[in-house]
């Protein structure tokens, strides 16, 4: 099987040998991905000239209906996606649901947002700024759809959610999408797009997909286009500095890897419910999707007096996790995406071990359920302990993209905030405490360095959505190392694909323009 690309209204097969994608449980080759000969520039031009005008003719409510139709088409084929996720991503049933159902749910959220904006095609911010003493000259800010294409380059860990969270926002904003999934897991992305196209859910040119290399896509970007990238910080830096991007200056947003953290408050002793909740969340971080989440917990900051107890509690839970073939219902931890990723993870653990002690895991399991631990990309859930995180560098700079986290003791809330900031900018931090003063000091103290802060106390309990789970109502992204980007966040996500323009004139003229717009705050 060789995955085809959907470009300019037709499915096109690459002319080269391509690169293999595998079953990470067995190491078996499942097929190949190749975009040799696929015209990326033509895909972007087709989006601009065919997809863009088709979306521009529709109201926000009508675009919302398209998103609902996409969600319905995906729901109708839901069972097939789970099997692909198991074979190609090594996902357990739970892992696959997070990715597949997360993508569908995000489409539905943005479909409802489209309905709420009604029949307008333009948004206007509330309020008017008077610019003249007489009151007869004023300004209002209007949002209109940019006349370009949205190039969306995604990471391997979320071939469904990563695809649809970008497509949902772009289509609602009136921007046609050209998706470029990561080759290692492109099978699921391609199948989903194929089902959506077959269902006739989207206007021609509004959604295309390129499976394989995409260098000519970046080279063909124009000023009104946008580039949304999710992946490594190194690749994000390369894309930002690409001569074509520098020359054309399309809008760029980057969500990169980050060293996210969890903080246990000083009040949360070993006998407290909050302590147990924090243990539960760290164990989840070391099992769900085999730890392959960009938002995942990598550093666990614990009061020095509770550090040993917390470390031992997590290690005890990890001992009960079953690693192996995700087809087995008893398995909690599947393989990493491929053997190269496992090797990179092992090298990262070795680097962390220069500053931390391995408490649990640390390598390839001796045995796994229903598979060969060497042939498959299996890695034991790994917990490390760093006695002196203040002087450490590797523990704050190296992300092991797998089931791996490091416990670090802190002395006082101020030090916890400072240690969290050592990550250089992160996507997410979670705080487990029932102390309102600690919530205030930590949440506001770490906020400049994080895109999202999740606070869990006895009132929230188990009702929280999870440290690693990205909700479409909340912004997703982070400063510094995390890429400096921002996606989702309800209507806030539309800002990447729309232009805010200050329109000046007589109040009556501005009111007339606003009559054809929907008032909204982005």
CATH number at residue 436: 3.40.309.10
Q: Which long-range contacts (CB under 8 A, 24 or more apart) does 503-506 make?
A: 503/139, 503/140, 503/141, 503/142, 504/131, 504/137, 504/138, 504/139, 505/137, 505/138, 505/139, 506/136, 506/137, 506/138
Amino acid 171: pLDDT: 98
Instruction: For residues 156 and 179, state if they share a domain.
Output: yes
- State both tokens at 438: 């600690």
Amino acid 324: pLDDT: 96
> Do 59 and 24 form a contact (C-beta atoms < 8 A)?
no
Annotation says 404 is catalytic: no
**Candidates 255, 355, 486, 487; catalytic one:** 255
393 pLDDT above the threshold of 80: yes
294 pLDDT above the threshold of 80: yes
Instruction: For residues 125 and 164, state if they share a domain.
Output: yes
Instruction: For residues 20 and 154, state if they share a domain.
Output: yes
- Rounded to whole angstroms, the Cα distance separating 97 from 486 reads 24
Amino acid 452: pLDDT: 96
Amino acid 214: pLDDT: 75
Residue that has been written with the tokens 């959604």 in this structure: 207
Q: What is the pLDDT of residues 453-468, one digit of tens each?
A: 999 999 999 999 999 9
- Rounded to whole angstroms, the Cα distance separating 284 from 503 reads 50
21 pLDDT above the threshold of 80: yes
Q: What is the pLDDT of residues 145-191, one digit of tens each?
A: 999 999 999 999 999 999 999 999 999 999 999 999 999 999 999 99
B/e letters for 212-225, b = 16+ CB within 10 Å, e = fewer, are bbbebbbbbbbebb
451 pLDDT above the threshold of 80: yes
Amino acid 448: pLDDT: 96
Instruction: For residues 502 and 475, state if they share a domain.
Output: no
234 pLDDT above the threshold of 90: no
Give the three-class secondary structure for 7.
Answer: strand
- Please tell me the pTM assigned to this model: 0.94
Instruction: For residues 310 and 365, state if they share a domain.
Output: yes
pLDDT above 70 as % of the chain:
100
Amino acid 120: pLDDT: 96
Instruction: For residues 232 and 366, state if they share a domain.
Output: no
Instruction: For residues 156 and 280, state if they share a domain.
Output: no
Instruction: For residues 219 and 326, state if they share a domain.
Output: no
Q: What is the mean pLDDT of residues 421-443?
A: 96
Q: What is the mean pLDDT of residues 423-427?
A: 95
Instruction: Look up the domain containing 22 and give its range.
Output: 2-257+485-519
Beta bridge partners of 140: 503
Instruction: For residues 275 and 252, state if they share a domain.
Output: no
Structural domain count of the chain: 2
**Candidates 294, 355, 386, 404; catalytic one:** 294
Amino acid 233: pLDDT: 86
Q: What is the pLDDT of residues 396-413, one digit of tens each?
A: 999 999 999 999 999 999
Instruction: For residues 407 and 338, state if they share a domain.
Output: yes
CATH of the domain at 213: 3.40.605.10
Instruction: For residues 475 and 507, state if they share a domain.
Output: no
Q: What is the pLDDT of residues 471-519, one digit of tens each?
A: 999 999 999 999 999 999 999 999 999 999 999 999 999 999 999 999 9
Question: Which conformational region is residue 249 in: left (phi greater than 0), alpha (psi within -120 to 50 degrees), or beta?
Answer: left
Does an H or E element contain 118, and which? none
Instruction: For residues 439 and 513, state if they share a domain.
Output: no
């Amino acid at each position: 099987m060789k995955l085809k690309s959907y470009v300019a209204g037709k499915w096109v097969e690459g002319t080269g040998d391509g690169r293999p994608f595998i079953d990470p449980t067995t190491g078996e080759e499942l097929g190949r991905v190749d975009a040799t000969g696929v015209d990326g520039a033509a895909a972007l031009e087709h989006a601009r000239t065919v997809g863009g005008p088709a979306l521009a003719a529709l109201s926000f409510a009508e675009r919302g209906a398209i998103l609902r139709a996409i969600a319905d088409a995906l729901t109708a084929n839901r069972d097939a996606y789970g099997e692909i996720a198991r074979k190609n991503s090594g996902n357990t049933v739970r892992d696959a649901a997070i990715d597949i159902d997360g993508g569908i749910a995000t489409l539905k959220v943005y479909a409802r947002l489209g309905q709420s904006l009604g029949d307008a095609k333009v948004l206007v911010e509330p309020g008017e700024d008077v610019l003249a003493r007489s009151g007869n000259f004023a300004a209002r800010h209007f949002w209109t759809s940019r006349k370009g294409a949205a190039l969306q380059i995604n990471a391997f860990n979320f071939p469904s959610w990563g695809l649809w969270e970008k497509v949902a926002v772009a289509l609602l904003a009136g921007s046609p999408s050209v998706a470029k999934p990561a080759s290692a897991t492109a099978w699921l992305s391609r199948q989903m797009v194929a089902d959506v196209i077959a269902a006739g859910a989207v206007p021609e040119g509004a959604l295309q997909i390129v499976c394989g290399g995409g260098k000519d896509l970046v080279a063909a970007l124009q000023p009104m286009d946008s580039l949304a990238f999710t992946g490594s910080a190194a690749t994000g830096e390369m894309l930002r500095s690409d001569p074509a991007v520098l020359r054309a200056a399309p809008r760029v947003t980057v969500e990169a890897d980050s060293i996210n953290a969890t903080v246990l408050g000083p009040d949360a002793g070993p006998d407290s419910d909050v302590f147990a909740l924090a243990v539960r969340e760290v164990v989840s971080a070391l099992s769900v999707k085999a730890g392959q989440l960009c938002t995942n917990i990598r550093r666990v900051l614990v009061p020095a007096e509770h550090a040993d107890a917390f470390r031992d509690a997590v290690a005890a839970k990890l001992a009960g996790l079953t690693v192996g073939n995700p087809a087995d219902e008893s398995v909690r931890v599947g393989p990493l995406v491929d053997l190269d990723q496992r090797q990179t993870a092992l090298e990262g653990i070795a680097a962390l071990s220069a500053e931390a002690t391995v408490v649990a895991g640390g390598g390839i399991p001796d045995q796994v359920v229903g598979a060969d631990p060497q042939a498959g990309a299996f890695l034991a859930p790994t917990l490390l302990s760093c006695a002196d995180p203040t002087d450490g560098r590797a523990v704050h700079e190296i992300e092991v993209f797998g089931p791996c986290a490091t416990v670090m003791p802190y002395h006082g809330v101020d030090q916890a905030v400072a240690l969290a900031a050592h990550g250089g900018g992160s996507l997410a931090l979670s705080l487990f405490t029932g102390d309102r003063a600690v919530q205030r000091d930590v949440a506001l103290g770490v906020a400049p360095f994080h895109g999202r802060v999740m606070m869990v106390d006895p009132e929230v309990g188990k009702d929280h959505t999870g440290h690693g789970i990205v909700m479409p109502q909340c912004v997703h992204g982070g400063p510094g190392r995390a890429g400096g980007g921002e996606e989702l966040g309800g209507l806030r996500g539309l800002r990447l694909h729309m232009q805010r323009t200050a329109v000046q004139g007589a109040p009556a003229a501005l009111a007339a323009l606003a009559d054809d717009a929907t008032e909204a705050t982005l």
